Structure 1
Amino acid sequence: MPNRKSRGNSNFMKSVQRPIVWAVAILFGVGIVWWSVAQYLGGSSQGNEQGTGTEISFTETVGGLTKDGTPLSNSDYWITYSEYETSVRDTLTNLRSQGYNLDPYFETENYPSEMGIRYDLFKSLIDQKTLLFYATENGVLPTAEQVDAETNRIVDEYVADEETKSAIIYQYGSVDAFSELVRDYVVTQMLATNVTQKAIPDMEERFENYVNENMEDLKINYEKVDANHILVSDEASAVEIKSMIDSGEISFTDAATQFSIDTDTAINGGALGEFGRGQMVQEFEDASFDATPGLVIGPVESQFGYHLIRVNSKTTFDTFEEFASTSAYQTELGRFENEEFNKWIADYRQQNNLSYTINDPDLQMYARYDEAISDPEKSSALLEELEKDYFDESGNLLIGDSYLPVVFYTELAENEITKLRNQIFDLEDLQDLLLTLPSTATSLTIDEIDSRLETIPSTDTEARSVLTDAKRAKEYMSEFNVETPEEIEEALTEKRSLLDSKNLRFENSVRYLYSVMPNSARVINYMYQIDGDNPEVVYMYNETSYNTNIRPLLESPELLDSYLEYYGQYFGAQARSLLLDSPIQGIESDLNQKVINSTEAATDLKMSALYLLVDIYEKMANMEQNEQLTQIYLLSEKHYLEKLAELYPEDETIRSLIETIKFQISELNAQNNVDAIPTADATSTETSTETLIDTEIGTGELEVPLGNDEHSSIGDVDLDVNFDSEGATETVN
Structure 2
Amino acid sequence: MRRLPLLLVALVAMLLPASCATGGSGVGAADAAVVNGVAISQQDLLDDLDALASNATVRSNLEAQGVAVYGPTEGSYSSAFSTQVLSSLVIDALIADELAQRGVEPTSEDRAQAEQQIGTSAGSFPQAFIDRQVTSLANRLALERELAAEPLGEVTDDEVRAYYDQNIDAIVERNGEFACLSHILVDTREQAEAALARIGAGEDFAALAREVSKDTGSASAGGDLGCQPRGQFVAAFEDAAFAATPGEVTGPVETEFGVHLLLVRAKGVPPFEEIATAIRQYLEQQRASGANPAFDAWLSDAVRRAEVTIDPKWGRWDPEQYPQVVVPPEGAASPTTSVPALLGPSDTAP
Aligning the two structures, in what range does the TM-score lie when normalised by the shorter sequence? 0.3 to 0.5
Q: Which structure carries more strand by proportion? A: 2
Larger Rg: 1
Q: Which structure carries more helix by proportion? A: 1
Query: What TM-score do you get using the length of structure 1 for normalisation?
Result: 0.22
Query: What TM-score do you get using the length of structure 2 for normalisation?
Result: 0.39
